[in-house]
């Protein structure tokens, strides 16, 4: 994650993630922990980070997330394509994170793609549709 501009925080302060459960699938431990900490600071309940599709599936089976932040390249060279398909099939809002300019994912199965390095404001802003949907329920 990249440090955000101090003014970026103002734009995201109105995003309340208190009712959101987020799954973090990221093979970079430091980035995964940083995303978890940031999301928790905004009130989200966070599962992970995990670095493999199998671990992500296990966490989803324990308690389905509202949204999944999924790195396209996982541990050991595993690609997240099949995981993204399964998450989408379960109705989970999928946000792909990637170092690729255009990762080879089916765009109709993902809500957005966040290019690394990911700014804090951009990460929180990507959660806004999920927060709005949960607030309307």
At residue 51, the pLDDT reads 97
> Taking the domains of the chain in order of start, what are their residue ranges?
16-136
Cβ-Cβ contacts under 8 Å for 43 (sequence gap 6 or more): 16, 17, 18, 20
**Cis peptide bond upstream of 49, omega within 30:** yes
What pLDDT sits at residue 19? 87
CATH architecture for segment(s) 16-136: 3-Layer(aba) Sandwich (3.40)
Provide block-wise average pLDDT over 10 residues at a time, the chain (137 residues). 49 78 97 96 97 98 97 94 96 93 84 92 94 88
Q: What are phi and psi of 135, to 5 degrees?
A: -65, -30
């Amino acid at each position: 994650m990249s440090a955000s501009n101090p003014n970026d925080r103002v734009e995201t302060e109105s995003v309340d993630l208190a009712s959101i459960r987020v799954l973090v699938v990221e093979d970079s431990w430091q980035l995964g922990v940083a995303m978890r900490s940031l999301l928790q600071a905004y009130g989200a309940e966070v599962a992970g980070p995990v670095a493999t599709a199998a671990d992500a599936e296990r966490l989803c089976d324990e308690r389905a997330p509202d949204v999944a932040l999924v790195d396209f390249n996982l541990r050991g060279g595993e690609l997240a394509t099949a995981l993204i398909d399964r998450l989408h099939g379960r109705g989970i809002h999928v946000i792909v994170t990637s170092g690729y300019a255009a990762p080879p994912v089916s765009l109709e199965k993902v809500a957005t793609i966040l290019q690394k390095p990911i700014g804090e404001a951009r990460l929180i802003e990507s959660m806004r549709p999920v927060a709005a949907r949960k607030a309307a329920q």
